[in-house]
Structure 1
């Protein structure tokens, strides 16, 4: 009986997901995904540069129009703009397309900064009101921190050469097993047991 109720509940979940996916597939609207990334680069002991890049994807089934990006959460007391703008706009974002925007900031103030998400507004032809999307959040930025940066040499080497090391190890193991003769004492014991 427990198996039957589990099977019925799994079947009902599958039906709900199927209905939700068909309803979502039938809607003709953009689905905007925004990824925000920031990279700190220390120029010297008193200045740190922050490179911010924002990628906007349209994963929906319709184009988005009048797309605007605003990332104004950078405090002017901490940051100054070196290059680019924190806001921009585009006329259209097609289905499956990508828009990218980047800018650089500079800081001379030691602090831990919590960034706000970037805001994307866009227009959908079937709706009167502007739609909004928000970027992924950033981890707290430790600007001009005293702790040393972690080196990821081991991790970067593993990512770069890990597959090669695995393949070479498997080939060496295979050759070793092919070249090494079987242990005769174990073979003799096996033949005595058969008699």
Structure 2
């Protein structure tokens, strides 16, 4: 019975050691994180532009080589590229490095649009095949949507956002000075009793 228990413990410890060593050995690789974001910019002419920015980070413990980024989720019948390119490549992406790709599109069609994630391909020296990573997806964009007119008191909210904390601090200090400088009601009551 003791022999079986000893063999089971040895087997479990050997399996655990093998699992940990394989995890440590495979951790010496790049880990690519890509973040895609898009913002809408309405022009005075009534047209709308989509500003797209894709950031690629290497959060791993080794460099990535032959890194290429492609964002083909913008159909040509709905968007025209007005500035930049929708794909790019880099020779190397070191550990902790960041590279970015930005481009601008002009919308031709009105409606909701949700683009697919961008594709990042890179090479790891220990593997023959190219590795793939995908960027974060975009939230749906309402292209050329009818927006409600600006609020009448928009300037008040901007003023409160800018100076609200300063006004509250000055009010608290003024209240404190008033309370310290004014005679208390208890002192007045004591004077009246005498």
Task: Give me the TM-score of the superposition, normalised by structure 1.
Answer: 0.70
Structure 1 residues 56-113: Cα deviation after superposition (integer angstroms, max 9, x where no partner) = 1112211111111010000111001111111110001111111011011101211111
SS in 2 for 1:145: coil
The equivalent of 2:32 in structure 1 is: 32
The equivalent of 1:184 in structure 2 is: 186
Task: Give how far 1:177 is off.
Answer: 4.8
Go from structure 1 to structure 2 and tell me whether the alpha carbon gap of 1:24 and 1:148 turns closer, same or farther (over 3 Å shift): farther
SS in 2 for 1:133: strand
8 A Cα contact 1:37 1:54, kept in partner: yes
CA RMSD of aligned residues (A): 3.2
The equivalent of 2:69 in structure 1 is: 69
Task: Give me the TM-score of the superposition, normalised by structure 2.
Answer: 0.71
Task: Give how far 1:183 is off.
Answer: 4.3
Distance in structure 2 (CA, Å) of the matches to 1:154 and 1:97: 42
The equivalent of 2:103 in structure 1 is: 103
| Number of positions where the alignment pairs a residue of Structure 1 with one of Structure 2 | 168
SS in 2 for 1:127: coil
Structure 1 residues 146-169: Cα deviation after superposition (integer angstroms, max 9, x where no partner) = 123777877766665565456545
Runs of 4+ more than 2 Å apart: 23-26, 147-183
The equivalent of 1:4 in structure 2 is: none
The equivalent of 1:83 in structure 2 is: 83
8 A Cα contact 1:52 1:102, kept in partner: yes
Task: Give how far 1:118 is off.
Answer: 0.7
The equivalent of 2:137 in structure 1 is: 137
